């Protein structure tokens, strides 16, 4: 047996001096040098007591060393658990208690806050900063540059990603070696990635898009990563001339279009721009093509399935659609209640089956069972229709999911927090159109009788209790929430009422 994911991604590059990562903050790393760094980290993991199947949780800044830690975790046969760098200590506490990692790696600045959390979970705690320094880097520094890769099969777990639920309880989606590798192989094929590609990488690496879609696909092809710490417009503009491809969220493209330096000449050599994690507005499609001559390729995926569909590389990339199922993915549109497959043109829930679909939710067998049909199709909860030519057109989120700046936000979590505040009777949180973020979080608050609520004070009260990207952009105090005859809050009315708040 071999280590399915590590061997496929890095096995062909042992000792290679081909450039793998170039970064504005440090020297370029070849494939061979990167693998030596990963090997030293794999030794450090073992020295800390990490064994195959253990979880390694990380909340660290994006850096070449952070990526090496991902590779090292896979090579050591452990399970990588990246956590959003915006999460507060109280949020991290839930993930750590639930996942029970053997090791938590954090930024040095977070050490004091996370130490008691790690101690309660019985996890070792180490640090790794954005500049590559920290206690974990120190432990790895003296280790050998070769590591005997641990055997892991296709069904062994490679990673956990936590995805929120409408009840506010996050679920750990278990992703296998084959889930990740099969998806990387499909994307490399349909998006035509080769060793000649240079991918401009400005995405975070704590979710599927930046880590698994971008990194795994480019690495499998043997190309080069331009490794930016985030989307900083000056850095992106400066590095586009060296790139052949770029993956982004809609926010990236709206911000590029707002910059006069982003011209047709700047990107005339580019091969591919892709967009995902949030819907791309049709006007952004049109404006981007008019400015550059390139048509953005939009695709669809989620934490539990990696990528499931893509617009074609050759052929019509239709605005407002996410294309067709990947070659190894089966997709159908069904009635949510019955699972009955619907004909083209009718709206239903997307269900998918294939090697990309996750193994289930960590320690939630009943929840896992609820989300799968008896024939193995996963119920995504996303509403869509197939047009007359078979393109998938997503029309809504069945569970009121908000996607802002590429991040998934579930209203219930924010509502529960707002309802705890003094003077609040009840709340409802919705996503409304936003020209930059795709959707913005907006909250409607009903005060208790006699209470005089100040939206600014409410914002201040919750600021340290929830990640910044989840915080409402606006809070409206209203007399009552709109409800139907069954008493259910009609969030569509709230979206209509406040939908023009961020109109351009």
pLDDT-based confidence at residue 110 (cuts at 50, 70, 90): very high
Query: Alpha carbon of 400 to those of 268, 324, 360, 383, 441: distances in Å?
Result: 39, 24, 22, 11, 12
Question: What secondary structure letter does DSSP report for 134?
Answer: S
Torsion of CA 254, 255, 260, 264, to 10 degrees: -60
Query: Once rounded to an integer, what is the mean pLDDT over residues 230-248?
Result: 96
Nearest residue to 154 (alpha-carbon basis) of 185, 129, 175? 175
Within a domain: 251: no
3-state secondary structure 384-442: EEECCCCCEEEEEECCCCEEECCEEECHHHHHHHHHCCCCEEEEEEEEEEECCCEEEEE
Evaluate if residue 237 carries a pLDDT over 80: yes
Evaluate if residue 31 carries a pLDDT over 80: yes
Query: Once rounded to an integer, what is the mean pLDDT over residues 370-387?
Result: 93
Within a domain: 109: yes
Residue found under tokens 């349909």: 190
- What is the pairing mode between strands 245-248 and 402-404? unpaired
CATH for 116: 3.40.50.980
**Sequence-separated (6 or more) residues with CB below 8 Å from residue 27:** none
pLDDT in tens, 391-416: 999 876 666 778 888 887 878 788 88
CATH for 420: 3.30.300.30
pLDDT in tens, 147-177: 999 999 999 999 999 985 444 578 999 999 9
Within a domain: 341: no
pLDDT (0 to 100) of residue 163: 85
- The length of the chain in residues reads 504
Residue found under tokens 């600045």: 109
Within a domain: 296: no
pLDDT (0 to 100) of residue 492: 84
**Which of 153, 170, 192 is the last residue before a domain boundary?**
153
Indicate the number of domains in the chain. Answer: 2
* Longest Cα separation, the chain: 72
Q: Looking at per-residue confidence, does 504 or 265 come out higher?
A: 265
pLDDT-based confidence at residue 488 (cuts at 50, 70, 90): low
Within a domain: 232: no
Within a domain: 392: no
> What share of the chain in percent tops pLDDT 70?
97
pLDDT (0 to 100) of residue 167: 44
pLDDT (0 to 100) of residue 356: 98
Per DSSP, the residues of 197-220 read -EEEE-S-SSSIIIIIIIIIHHHH
pLDDT-based confidence at residue 387 (cuts at 50, 70, 90): very high
pLDDT (0 to 100) of residue 168: 52
Rounded to 5°, the CA angle 300-152-375 comes to 45
Evaluate if residue 283 carries a pLDDT over 90: no
pLDDT (0 to 100) of residue 402: 85
Within a domain: 35: yes
pLDDT in tens, 125-145: 999 999 999 999 999 999 999
Domain span at residue 438 reads 402-498
Within a domain: 369: no
pLDDT (0 to 100) of residue 213: 97
Nearest residue to 477 (alpha-carbon basis) of 462, 493, 503, 498? 498
The alpha carbon of residue 264 and the mean position of all alpha carbons in its chain are separated, in whole angstroms, by 29
**Which of 102, 128, 153 is the last residue before a domain boundary?**
153
Q: How many whole angstroms separate alpha carbon 302 and alpha carbon 371?
A: 14
- Predicted TM-score (pTM) of the model is 0.84
């Amino acid at each position: 047996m071999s280590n399915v994911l590590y061997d496929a991604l890095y096995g062909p590059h042992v000792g290679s001096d081909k450039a793998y990562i170039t970064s504005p903050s440090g020297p370029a790393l070849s494939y061979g040098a990167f693998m030596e760094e990963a090997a030293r980290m794999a030794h450090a993991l073992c020295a800390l007591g990490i064994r195959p199947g253990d979880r390694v949780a990380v909340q660290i800044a994006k850096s070449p060393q952070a990526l090496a830690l991902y590779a090292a975790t896979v090579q050591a046969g452990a399970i990588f658990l990246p956590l959003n760098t915006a999460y507060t200590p109280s949020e991290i506490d839930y993930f750590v208690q639930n996942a029970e990692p053997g090791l938590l790696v954090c930024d040095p600045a977070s050490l004091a806050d996370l130490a008691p959390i790690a101690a309660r979970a019985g996890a070792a705690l180490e640090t790794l900063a954005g500049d590559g320094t920290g206690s974990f880097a120190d432990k790895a520094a003296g280790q050998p540059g070769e590591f005997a890769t641990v055997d892991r099969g296709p069904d062994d777990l490679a990673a956990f990603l936590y995805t929120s639920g409408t009840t506010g309880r996050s679920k750990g989606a278990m992703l296998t070696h084959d889930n990740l590798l099969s998806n990387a192989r499909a994307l490399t094929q349909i998006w035509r990635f080769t060793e000649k590609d240079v991918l401009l990488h400005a995405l975070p690496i704590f979710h599927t898009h930046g880590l698994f879609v971008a990194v795994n696909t480019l690495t499998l092809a043997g190309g080069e990563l331009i490794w930016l710490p985030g989307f900083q417009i000056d850095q992106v503009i400066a590095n586009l001339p060296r790139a052949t491809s770029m993956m982004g969220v809609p926010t990236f493209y709206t911000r590029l279009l707002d910059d006069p330096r982003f011209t047709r000449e700047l990107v005339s050599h580019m091969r591919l721009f892709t967009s995902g994690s949030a819907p791309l507005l049709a006007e952004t499609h049109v404006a981007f093509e008019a400015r550059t001559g390139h048509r953005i390729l939009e695709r669809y995926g989620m934490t539990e399935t990696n990528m499931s569909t893509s617009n074609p590389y050759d052929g019509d990339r239709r605005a407002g659609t996410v294309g067709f199922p990947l070659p190894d993915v089966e997709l159908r549109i069904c009635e949510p209640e019955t699972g009955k497959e619907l004909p083209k043109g009718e709206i239903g829930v997307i269900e998918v089956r294939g090697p990309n679909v996750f193994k289930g939710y960590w320690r939630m067998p009943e929840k896992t069972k609820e989300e799968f049909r008896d024939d193995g199709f996963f119920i995504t909860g996303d509403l869509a229709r197939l047009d007359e030519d078979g393109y998938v057109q997503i029309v809504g989120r069945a569970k009121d999911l908000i996607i802002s700046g590429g991040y998934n936000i579930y209203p219930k979590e924010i509502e529960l927090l707002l309802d705890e505040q003094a003077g609040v009777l009840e709340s409802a949180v919705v996503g409304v159109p936003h020209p930059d973020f795709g959707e913005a979080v907006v909250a409607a608050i009903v005060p208790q009788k006699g209470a005089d609520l100040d939206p600014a004070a409410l914002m201040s009260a919750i600021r340290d209790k929830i990640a910044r990207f989840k915080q409402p952009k606006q809070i409206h105090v209203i007399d009552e929430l709109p409800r139907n005859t069954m008493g259910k809050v009609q969030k569509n009315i709230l979206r209509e009422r406040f939908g023009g708040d961020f109109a351009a």
